[in-house]
Structure 1
Amino acid sequence: MSQKTHYDTLGVAKDASAADIKKAYHKLVRKYHPDISTDPDADKKTSEINQAYNVLKDPAKRAEYDALLANPYAGREAPDFGGGFGGYHFDERHFGDGQPFGSGDFRFDDIFSAFGHAQQRRAQRPTTPIPGEDQHAELAIDIAAAYAGSERSLSLEMPTLTADGEMTYARKTLHVKIPKGISEGQQIRLRGQGLPGFNGGENGDLYLKIRFREDPQHYVKDRKDVYQRLDIAPWTAVLGGTVEVATPAGKLGVNIPAGSRGGQNLRLKGKGIPAKEPGDLYLVLNIELPRAVDDSARALWQQLADHYAQG
């Protein structure tokens, strides 16, 4: 077999490990992705890279391909290792809730699934039903969605197979229900929304792995405990008092103990992610100094400084 092999396409040795193959694939796809590459043949190269990875990442397909490389004149028709196993195409760049694709709210773990430009051609297929491959993606949500539940709509160009084995694409909107109490890292399964099966095989499933969108006011720890910064005035920290705080769990009246310090955590039990065993909400105190914008304000700060200087 004199033409370039899939190993040549990915730039790996024939005995490369699965991890090395995946690493090389991701590096090349990022380099030649048509949305960012200036290479005039970027689309063609991306298709070749996708085809090579789709074969070499699968142990059974790779073994059959290696056998073909070792004995190309075995007197049988070679199996199709081309692009007939294409993936999703994105036609719209926005989702139902108005979040742009480029924001990183939604991305496929296997890049070829989202951006594969598969060649639509007839291939030799086995006679037995073969299930479609599962696909994995990541979906970013606000922390508030985990408290109250939410719904998202994803508009995708989904792959389908015709009766004669041709790959076509049709627009489909997937409605995703995000359950109340979902935690970061948890997956939502969309049955039958993966790659299509062959010869009557069932479609694969699409798994959406949840992550929380970055938020300057909140972060999540241990999957269900929520930390929120709370700005308080110096006199509130010294004297204590009750303040009303807007939290993902709603508006809460919070008692600030006298003598509180900056960086101190106030624990609100059971006010974290409302899972089966709810997490806790921690308010991280941040003492915010008011600005001395006029002579009167500066005089007050000077009186305070003089008072403590005398002590």
Structure 2
Amino acid sequence: MAERNFYEILGVDRKASEDDIKKAYRKLVRKYHPDISKDPDAVAKTSEINIAYETLHNKEKRAEYNEMLDNPFRHGGQQNDGSHHGYNYQQYEFDPSHFGQNGAFGSGDFRFDDFFSAFGSSGQHGFQQNRTGPMNGEDQHAELVIDISAAYQGAQRNLSLDMPTLNTQGQMTYERKTLNVKIPAGITEGQQIRLSGQGLPGFNGGAAGDLYLKISFRNQENLYVQNRKDVYQRINVAPWTAALGGKTDITTPAGLLSVNIPANSHNGQKMRLKGKGIPAKEAGDLYLLINIVLPQTNTETDRAAWQALASHYAAFQPQNHI
């Protein structure tokens, strides 16, 4: 069977847009990642997908590759079936161990946004290995997942990764590095932290690229963020506090706050605490969502208390609406 060309590997047409190529790549790399896929050839397929993407997502590389497809014999190819035999690049095999303990997809706080474009593909070096003159390394992009509390107080993360580097022969090797990442207080979701020189290595004396960490907040059961800096927290309230009102102490990401629950509060009611959201340049707000929690009825005394309440409110009938 003829070997597939890069477009066929990614399942896209030659006229596919850059966005279409990126979407196809991400879909495939998620499907065949060795930590997820049960396919026995997952590692080889991931390497193949990376190599195809590294060529097609770069305009210059893609144009050169298209020219090779149209004129295979001019480039030393031995076949005209559209495969990438004869294409002048050096392949670096994908090795999932290169991600290190904290860099594996789907585990810990750290995962690659472009997944394996940095670690485990031919990159720019093999593709242009016959060129002369210095070439800067490509920037890489990753996602760093943090707790919402880290955005209030600031934090540090140490990420141990096997980073790509070039040896004296110009071949890609891996070197274990520990990156110290400082997360500033007030950082919002989607902001990026730049680690200078931690991207792909340069070639022929060129400077290394940078690593950009895009901040994402970890999902928590009773705590989430909207509009990047507004924080929503569900708080449990006793039914008598909801009915009568009163002050209660609430532990929030902004610290321990004394909050006045208004009388006749209802389930799902929202209380706004201005400026108590993410402490960005313009601080967000903290919204407390009331969740009325009923005590358990375990004894005859408990049941008698509820029965007395029911008798007192005998005329009350909850309204049901569709």
Q: TM-score, normalised by structure 1?
A: 0.88
How far 1:141 moved relative to its partner? 0.6
Instruction: Give the structure 2 partner of residue 108 of structure 1.
Output: 112
Which of 156, 160, 180 is residue 155 of structure 1 equivalent to? 160
Instruction: Give the structure 1 partner of residue 288 of structure 2.
Output: 283
Instruction: Give the structure 2 partner of residue 53 of structure 1.
Output: 53
Amino acid at match of 1:59: K
Matched, 1:185 2:193: no
| CA gap 1:37/1:238 in 2 versus in 1, 3 angstroms | closer
Matched, 1:223 2:228: yes
**Distance (Å, rounded) in 1 between the aligned partners of 2:127 and 2:138:** 19
- SS in structure 1 of the partner of residue 35 of structure 2: coil
Name the stretch that deviates more: 49-58 or 37-46: 37-46
| CA gap 1:81/1:13 in 2 versus in 1, 3 angstroms | farther
Amino acid at match of 2:206: G
**Matching of residues 192-231 of structure 1 within 5 Å:** 192-231=197-236
The answer on whether the counterparts of 1:87 and 1:116 sit within 8 Å (CA) in structure 2 is: yes
Matched, 1:81 2:85: no
**Distance (Å, rounded) in 2 between the aligned partners of 1:101 and 1:71:** 38
Residues 183-237 of structure 1, C-alpha deviations (whole Å, 9 max, x = no match) = 1111111111111111111111111111110011111121111111111111111
| CA gap 1:57/1:232 in 2 versus in 1, 3 angstroms | same
Which of 271, 274, 277 is residue 269 of structure 1 equivalent to? 274
| CA gap 1:289/1:32 in 2 versus in 1, 3 angstroms | closer
Residues 136-193 of structure 1, C-alpha deviations (whole Å, 9 max, x = no match) = 1111110100010001111111011123211111111111100001011111111111
Name the stretch that deviates more: 127-136 or 172-181: 127-136
Residues 24-44 of structure 1, C-alpha deviations (whole Å, 9 max, x = no match) = 323333333333334443322
**Distance (Å, rounded) in 1 between the aligned partners of 2:127 and 2:274:** 60
**Matching of residues 120-159 of structure 1 within 5 Å:** 124-159=129-164
- SS in structure 1 of the partner of residue 173 of structure 2: strand
Matched, 1:23 2:28: no
Gaps of 5+ in 1: none
**Distance (Å, rounded) in 2 between the aligned partners of 1:117 and 1:64:** 18
The answer on whether the counterparts of 2:269 and 2:289 sit within 8 Å (CA) in structure 1 is: yes
| CA gap 1:310/1:74 in 2 versus in 1, 3 angstroms | closer
The answer on whether the counterparts of 1:146 and 1:273 sit within 8 Å (CA) in structure 2 is: yes
The answer on whether the counterparts of 2:140 and 2:212 sit within 8 Å (CA) in structure 1 is: yes
Gaps of 5+ in 2: 78-85, 317-322
**Distance (Å, rounded) in 2 between the aligned partners of 1:209 and 1:43:** 26
Name the stretch that deviates more: 62-71 or 152-161: 62-71
How far 1:17 moved relative to its partner? 2.7
Paired-residue identity, %: 60
How far 1:62 moved relative to its partner? 0.8
| CA gap 1:196/1:261 in 2 versus in 1, 3 angstroms | same
**Distance (Å, rounded) in 2 between the aligned partners of 1:114 and 1:35:** 17
Instruction: Give the structure 1 partner of residue 260 of structure 2.
Output: 255
- SS in structure 1 of the partner of residue 116 of structure 2: helix
Instruction: Give the structure 1 partner of residue 33 of structure 2.
Output: 33
**Distance (Å, rounded) in 2 between the aligned partners of 1:26 and 1:82:** 23
**Distance (Å, rounded) in 2 between the aligned partners of 1:223 and 1:75:** 50
Amino acid at match of 2:173: T
- SS in structure 1 of the partner of residue 111 of structure 2: strand
The answer on whether the counterparts of 2:119 and 2:164 sit within 8 Å (CA) in structure 1 is: no
| CA gap 1:27/1:272 in 2 versus in 1, 3 angstroms | closer
| CA gap 1:249/1:129 in 2 versus in 1, 3 angstroms | same
How far 1:79 moved relative to its partner? 6.4
**Distance (Å, rounded) in 1 between the aligned partners of 2:131 and 2:142:** 29
**Distance (Å, rounded) in 2 between the aligned partners of 1:244 and 1:230:** 11
**Distance (Å, rounded) in 1 between the aligned partners of 2:127 and 2:19:** 31
The answer on whether the counterparts of 1:109 and 1:136 sit within 8 Å (CA) in structure 2 is: yes
